[in-house]
Amino acid sequence: MTRGSQGVRTTAHAHAKFTQTDVRAAVAGLRGSTSFRAPLREYTSFKIGGPADVVCEPADIDDVCLVVRQARARKIPLFVLGGTNLLIRDGGIRGIVVSLARLRAIKEEPTAVLYAEGGVGMPTLIGYAIRHSLAGLEWAAGIPGTAAGCVVMNAGTKLGEMKDSIKAVRMVNMKGQIVDLEAAQVRFEYRRALLPRGIVVGVWLQLKPGVQSEIQRVVKDYLHYRRDTQPLAMPSAGCVFKNPPNDSAGRLIEAVGLKGARVGDAEVSMKHANFMVNRGQANAADVTALIGKVRRAIRRRVGVRLDLELKIVGET
Ligand SMILES: Cc1cc2nc3c(=O)[nH]c(=O)nc-3n(C[C@H](O)[C@H](O)[C@H](O)COP(=O)(O)OP(=O)(O)OC[C@H]3O[C@@H](n4cnc5c(N)ncnc54)[C@H](O)[C@@H]3O)c2cc1C
């Protein structure tokens, strides 16, 4: 597995040699749930994606350790998802897809530290911080990913980034062992964290005592701003492109007149040009064709190469 934002190396293993029997053996004994030939569109905010050989939801961190060990022993690829920054191709993902949806515990620790298991959604975490009058996560209001996904992506907004809040990260490494890393041991870059191979299963966030009404006000204002400027009523995966240095991908896309451009049911949002939305029946091929069209136009007309923020995974 590579270092970087991929978490667990997976993607196209067209030549991977394992059978359905191997896959079944690799998820045997899990206390969480397993779902074979599961359509991944149901696990993504884009509502796009072919099937996984199996999706498993480990019951707890020990269950994560078990599936990692069993998958490794059979050389079966693992892919972890929260599902909100992903375009999964129409052929789906071979091997085991892990969802941390059952790792949802949040714990307050001394000196304004919050520990969140990897599957806790950012909105839930922010709600908890508000109820406990803890400030410092307001920047993340409206980010729909999991706490783990936000660590891996170093998620951020113009108000802040995940790296500003992280104290330490808990991972399950590729041997199936639990490893804790201090934030200082991790290099964070724009929309990625350079982590060792493995699955992020928890994060400690350093917050500070605050005034509940003030934290709530900042969060509410930012959610309103997002509602006014982003197409939140339609399926999407957030921003498609990273912002080029000192510019905004949305501004460039709008400038070349591609707001509203479509391939099939995939559309460059009329509300925010760096979002692509699924108007209902879009598939991954539509989205990748639209991405190609936008990139070519920006390259030709502005001379800028747009890099993807969206992760495109799986098989065609
Ligand atoms: C409406 C909308 C608004 C958004 N706004 C923002 C925004 O303002 N700022 C921003 O940064 N993002 C934004 N996003 C994108 C997205 O929410 C973030 O990138 C988030 O960090 C992704 O988290 P996730 O859990 O969904 O991870 P995924 O999208 O599923 O995964 C992202 C990558 O992380 C890996 N990964 C996920 N979980 C783990 C794990 N436990 N261990 C190891 N690897 C893992 C995946 O394999 C993948 O490579 C938005 C998305 C939507 C739909």
Estimate the share of the chain in helix, then strand, then coil, as percent rounded to the nearest 5. 30, 30, 40
In a shared domain, residues 206 and 115: yes
Q: What is the CATH number of the domain that holds 286?
A: 3.90.78.10
In one-letter notation, the amino acid at residue 282 is A
- Exposed, middle or buried: residue 286 (CB in 10 Å: 0-12, 13-18, 19+)? buried
Structural domain includes residue 14 = no
Token pair, residue 218, equals 């900042």
In a shared domain, residues 95 and 112: no
In a shared domain, residues 114 and 187: yes
Q: Which of 6, 55, 153, 236 to mutate to test the pocket of ligand 1 (most atoms within 8 A of CB)?
A: 153
Domain count, the chain: 3
Q: What atom in ligand 1 is closest to the CA of residue 144?
A: 17
The domain boundary residue, chosen from 58, 77, 99: 99
Does the C-beta of 236 come closer than 6 Å to ligand 1? Answer: yes
Does the C-beta of 81 come closer than 6 Å to ligand 1? Answer: yes
Residues 118, 300: Cα–Cα separation, whole Å: 41
Structural domain includes residue 155 = yes
311 Cα: distance to centroid of ligand 1 (angstroms): 9
Between β-strands 93-99 and 78-81, what pairing exists: parallel, antiparallel or unpaired?
A: parallel
In a shared domain, residues 199 and 112: yes
Which domain covers residue 39, as residue numbers? Answer: 20-99
pLDDT (tens, 9 = 90+) of the chain, 316 residues, equals 324 434 454 444 445 689 999 999 999 999 999 999 999 999 999 999 999 999 999 999 999 999 999 999 999 999 999 999 999 999 999 999 999 999 999 999 999 999 999 999 999 999 999 999 999 999 999 999 999 999 999 999 999 999 999 999 999 999 999 999 999 999 999 999 999 999 999 999 999 999 999 999 999 999 999 999 999 999 999 999 999 999 999 999 999 999 999 999 999 999 999 999 999 999 999 999 999 999 999 999 999 999 999 999 999 9
The domain boundary residue, chosen from 75, 99, 123: 99
Write down the residue that tokens 């191979």 correspond to. Answer: 197
pLDDT value at residue 5: 39
Query: pTM for the whole thing?
Result: 0.96
Structural domain includes residue 220 = no
Does the C-beta of 145 come closer than 6 Å to ligand 1? Answer: yes
In a shared domain, residues 156 and 242: no
Q: What is the CATH number of the domain that holds 150?
A: 3.30.465.10
In a shared domain, residues 151 and 170: yes
Structural domain includes residue 70 = yes
Ligand 1, atom 44, lies closest to the CA of 7
Structural domain includes residue 47 = yes
Token pair, residue 193, equals 């964290």
297 Cα: distance to centroid of ligand 1 (angstroms): 27
Residue 264 Rama label (left phi>0; alpha psi -120 to 50; beta): left
150 Cα: distance to centroid of ligand 1 (angstroms): 6
Residues in Cβ contact with 301 at an 8 Å cutoff, skipping those fewer than 6 apart: 256
The domain boundary residue, chosen from 214, 245, 275: 214
Does the C-beta of 51 come closer than 6 Å to ligand 1? Answer: no
pLDDT value at residue 315: 97
Contacts 24+ apart (CB under 8 A), 255-262: 255/302, 256/297, 256/298, 256/301, 256/302, 258/293, 258/294, 258/297, 261/290, 261/293, 261/294, 262/290
In a shared domain, residues 81 and 127: no
99, 57 in Cβ contact below 8 A? yes
Does the C-beta of 153 come closer than 6 Å to ligand 1? Answer: yes
Structural domain includes residue 48 = yes
Q: What atom in ligand 1 is closest to the CA of residue 201?
A: 41
26, 71 in Cβ contact below 8 A? yes
Structural domain includes residue 295 = yes
Q: What is the CATH number of the domain that holds 58?
A: 3.30.43.10
Does the C-beta of 118 come closer than 6 Å to ligand 1? Answer: yes
Q: What atom in ligand 1 is closest to the CA of residue 85?
A: 29
In a shared domain, residues 77 and 94: yes
